Chain A
Amino acid sequence: GAVVSQHPSRVICKSGTSVKIECRSLDFQATTMFWYRQFPKQSLMLMATSNEGSKATYEQGVEKDKFLINHASLTLSTLTVTSAHPEDSSFYICSAQELYQETQYFGPGTRLLVL
């Protein structure tokens, strides 16, 4: 149980294009989903928290117009990196949490490379 998937696992795009990453909870209803960014050899940095049906709450320093988050259903959240630039290249990881539960379950991550 508690499986979270991400798609795609790896994406390469040109500078200026937009990229959408999907995060799905496969066997539970994720009332809350989190998006993290991980630079090489570093820890996870929380980008935003989203509750189903509500606007995402972004961490300080994260541009909400650049990183669009949608959590339209209890099993799906999407992160869209708009007008991507090389500095956006990173490993993006989502996690999902069920109502009244204390554990976040993580997806396998998406490696984004912007050329």
Chain B
Amino acid sequence: AQSVTQLGSHVSVSEGALVLLRCNYSSSVPPYLFWYVQYPNQGLQLLLKYTSAATLVKGINGFEAEFKKSETSFHLTKPSAHMSDAAEYFCAVSRSGGYQKVTFGTGTKLQVIP
């Protein structure tokens, strides 16, 4: 079984401040990990993914995440928040290999304060 826990359903940061969205996973086998972003009334857009290569993964829009096996974490960060980053962010986990079911976290809504 696999699962992800996103700490904090809502996170508020000031524009220009560090963004940190937390994700912890549980998996009995080596996982693949993903971060997706969802804007209102839209589908999900892939930000970045970890698939057992480099543990520090860089994604689009200046986001990055670090896979820490010892902490079973995959936190998402961005050095400087922009107003356009306001959205809902989902962490997700799947087993390694193709066609694996993806399990999503409950999401974190990011608010950016001007």
Q: Tell me the residues in window 65-81 of chain A with beta carbons closer than 8 Å to chain B beta carbons.
A: none
Contact of A109 among B43, B97, B98, B102 (CB under 8 A): B43
Interface segment out of the listed B14-22, B45-53, B64-72, B75-83: B45-53
B107 to A43, Cβ gap below 8 A? yes
Chain B, interface size category, equals: 20 to 34
CB neighbours of A49 from chain B (8 A): 99, 101
Q: Fill in one digit per residue for A1-42: 1 if any B CB lies within 8 Å of its CB, else 0.
A: 000101000000000000000000000000110100000001
CB neighbours of B44 from chain A (8 A): 44, 93, 95, 106
The answer for the CA separation of A27 and B49 in the assembled complex, in Å, is 21
* Contact status of A97 and B107, CB under 8 A, knowing A102-B32, A102-B51, A108-B43: no
Residues of chain A whose beta carbon lies under 8 Å from any beta carbon of chain B: 4, 6, 31-32, 34, 42-44, 46, 49, 51, 91, 93, 95, 97, 99-109, 111
